[in-house]
Amino acid sequence: MNPVPVLVLFGPTASGKTALLDRLFGSAGAYCKAEIISADSMQVYRGMDIGTAKPTPGEQNRIPHHLIDILDPCEQFNAGEFVRLAKDAIQSISSRGNLPVVSGGTGFYLRNLILGLPAAPPSDPEIRCSLKQELVQNGARHLFYRSSLMVPGTLFCLFLDFFPKKQSNLHPRAVKDASNSVWRELCGKNEFI
């Protein structure tokens, strides 16, 4: 695979990235044709329009956009999937003679696209299934408690000590973080599930 020139525009949500790209590439007299690859962890989801500053239909008509509205909110998406899809889009855009522009604010996605994904084995489906069953049977509080016992001094341990009444209202992401902590302890690795 030959190297392809790519423009990267990085910044927080609603900082004007889309407006800038529309001014640069959205008119018939633009210096070159470009296509935008979204590097936003929420814009990949259909229906997640509020709070994501998704490009308007008009903006998407003027400049083709990729990796927007490709998944339902119940589907998982991660940096590895982003890198794979973004690299495919970069090659496809370049093959059409257009400039690939990666634009967004999810730094983890951009870092992995630019520097490459870290070497990590795939997660073990049996352990993942076991952790999910444990979560269903015993609840998030148990999973947090278990992870804090396995890894003393972690955020989970501090969470349990300082916010005991909040344990019943845990956000799903916090549960995943607790699962990751248990996974690392079970496997003796620092990779995430």
Secondary structure class of 35 (helix, strand, coil): strand
Cβ burial, residue 176 (10 Å; 0-12/13-18/19+):
middle
Domain-located, residue 135: yes
pLDDT, tens digit (0-9, with 9 covering 90-100), for 160-169: 554 455 555 5
pLDDT, tens digit (0-9, with 9 covering 90-100), for 62-98: 999 999 999 999 888 999 999 999 999 999 999 999 9
Which pLDDT score is estimated for 191? 47
DSSP string, 104-119: ES-HHHHHHHHH-PPP
DSSP 124: -
Domain-located, residue 69: yes
189, β-bridge pairs? none
pLDDT, tens digit (0-9, with 9 covering 90-100), for 106-160: 999 999 999 998 877 777 778 778 877 887 888 776 766 666 555 544 555 545 5
Please give the order of strands across the beta sheet that includes 34-38.
7-10, 99-104, 34-38, 65-66
Cβ burial, residue 67 (10 Å; 0-12/13-18/19+):
buried
Whether residue 17 is found in the same domain as residue 108: yes
Where residue 179 falls among pLDDT bands split at 50, 70, 90? low
Residue 145 structural domain: 125-187
Averaged pLDDT for residues 30-52: 92
Considering 57, 90, 115, which residue would you say is the last residue of a domain?
115
Q: In 10 A of CB 84, how many CB atoms?
A: 12
| pLDDT for 193 beyond 50 | no
| pLDDT for 183 beyond 70 | no
Domain-located, residue 158: yes
Where residue 29 falls among pLDDT bands split at 50, 70, 90? confident
Q: What interhelical angle do 125-150 and 172-187 show, nearest 10?
A: 90
Considering 61, 85, 115, which residue would you say is the last residue of a domain?
115
Which pLDDT score is estimated for 125? 79
| pLDDT for 177 beyond 70 | no
Whether residue 95 is found in the same domain as residue 166: no
Mean model confidence pLDDT for the chain = 80
Secondary structure class of 64 (helix, strand, coil): coil
Counting the structural domains of the chain, the total is 2
Averaged pLDDT for residues 181-190: 55
Whether residue 19 is found in the same domain as residue 49: yes
